[in-house]
Amino acid sequence: MPIVQFQGKNISCEVGENLRKVLLKNDAELYNGKAKYINCMGIGSCGTCAVQIKGNVNPPNWKDKARRSFPPHSPDRDLRLACQTKVLGDISVVKYDGFWGHKTTLK
Per residue in 25-35, pLDDT tens?
A: 999 999 999 99
Show the domains of the chain with their CATH numbers: 3-94 (3.10.20.30)
Distance CA 16, CA 8 (A): 22
pLDDT of residue 105: 72
- The model's pTM is 0.94
Residues 29-55, mean pLDDT to the nearest whole number: 97
Q: Give CA angle at 37 (82, 25), nearest 5°.
A: 50
- 3 pLDDT band, cuts 50/70/90, is very high
Q: How far is CA 47 from the centre of its chain?
A: 9
